[in-house]
Amino acid sequence: MSVAPTCRLCAGPVHQWMDLGRQPASNSFPRPDETGAERFFRLAVGICADCTMVQQLEAMPTDHMFRADYPYRSSTSDGLSRHFEEVAGWLRRTELTGHTDLVVEIGCNDGVMLGALGAAGVRHLGVDPSAGAARDAALRGAEVRVSFFDEAAAIAIRAERGPARVVFSANTISHVADIATVFRGVDRLLTPDGVFVFEDRYVGDIVEYAYFDQIYDEHFYLFSVRAVDAMATRFGFELVDVERISIHGGSLRFTVARPGARPRRDSVTRMIDDEARYAIGEYETYRRFARQIDRVGTDLVALLTDLRAAGRRVVGYGATSKSATVTNYCGIGPDLVPFICDTTPEKQGRLSPGMHIPVRPHAAFVDPYPDYALLFAWNHAEEIMLKERRFTAQGGRWILYVPQVHVV
């Protein structure tokens, strides 16, 4: 019998429940002359039998994922921008009541949240390895240190600016396989009564709605409340609050503090109880999910193949990171989807990771409209479908593949 790999957090045995095959770095959009240099890894996911953390079995190296030219920009979605502005307002009302409080954001990208804090005169610093995103953040008035966040970075920041009242992060903590160094950094940086607040996709929603494309290189961990609670304790902190938020199809906002520094809210135990009821920490739940993923993949390829045979034009909408999983797992290339439209200038003129579907500006979608749009950015469905009313009004239809393949 082969020995199970060990959990990155607790060294317990990790049981694989799905292998999504050979996959590229999901945000690495090669130029047409760069396709030979792409790096691939095996995207396999498992669950730890001890702490129940869902995690990948092999990691794509971080220096390959988060480079200076990392193309993702939070601000391309109005919904996300609004959300991060609200986070800034919420932090100001609840935590940043002293005039000199410092906020550090891990993975601040183009600085929507920090720009809003900066405009309100709040002391802040973003930490992000992407120089391009940091430049965009600077244009919003946000100050950024271009680096990964680890213990050494935290020591340097503390020496320069003193302790932080709030360490915030959105959609980043789950990306770091060596999460221990993040917590050591937070420990170095946080005031005795400060909080570490992080938002990330919720594995409970991913399983419930079969959001299988949330599994890609960057999402090294898929968080449950139970597993994050155990993780915080292991690293010398306490999970004191958890809140559901609608971002990215269903996320959680975790609040972590030093043990005893803050009262622990009922939300934590309530959600851990709910997760037990829905068997979120159990291997069998994920095996069922894996069978569902197989079915969706088969159905999607069948639909696209039928549409091509019928002479229908299908265009991808949103060159999301998530779409790397879908296209590479299903083997969907330019023969089935000739191009993907995306509003991010950094992605346009490039090719989708692995399957090399060209990425074109939004104008290519409009003129002429295709018969079908395959909505890779399904998490922004409301915003996009509203914006594209004319597409549907003149007979265009949307293809969605979560929680199953359907046409609307």
Residues engaged in binding ligand TYD (CB under 6 A): 72, 76-77, 318-322, 342-344, 347, 377, 379-380, 383-384, 387
Cβ nearer to ligand TYD, comparing 224 with 379: 379
Cβ nearer to ligand TYD, comparing 122 with 384: 384
Cβ nearer to Zn ion, comparing 48 with 268: 48
Judged by CB under 5 A, does residue 51 bind Zn ion? yes
Cβ nearer to ligand TYD, comparing 20 with 230: 20
Are 204 and 278 a contacting pair, CB within 8 Å? Answer: yes
Count of Cβ atoms closer than 10 Å to residue 111 Cβ: 29
Tokens standing for 353? 């990771």
H or E element, residue 273: helix 266-277
Helix, strand and coil percent figures for the chain, each rounded to 5: 40, 25, 35
Q: Which does 12 bind (CB under 5 to 8 A by kind): Zn ion, ligand TYD, none?
A: Zn ion
- Helices (H) and strands (E) counted in the chain, each on its own, are 14, 17
Cβ nearer to ligand TYD, comparing 254 with 376: 376
Spatial strand order of the sheet with 40-48 comes to 14-24, 40-48, 54-56, 221-222
Please pick, from the candidates 10, 96, 166, 405, the single residue that binds Zn ion as defined by CB under 5 A: 10
Query: CB 2 → ligand TYD: shortest distance, Å?
Result: 33
Query: CB 10 → ligand TYD: shortest distance, Å?
Result: 28
Q: Which does 48 bind (CB under 5 to 8 A by kind): Zn ion, ligand TYD, none?
A: Zn ion
Query: How many angstroms separate the Cα of 265 from the Cα of each of 227, 256, 277?
Result: 17, 11, 20
Three-state DSSP class for residue 334: coil
Judged by CB under 5 A, does residue 12 bind Zn ion? yes
The single-letter code of the amino acid at 102 is L
Judged by CB under 5 A, does residue 215 bind Zn ion? no
How far, in Å, CA of 321 to CA of 107, rounded? 16
Query: CB 218 → ligand TYD: shortest distance, Å?
Result: 8
Site residues, Zn ion (CB under 5 A): 7, 9-10, 12, 48, 50-51
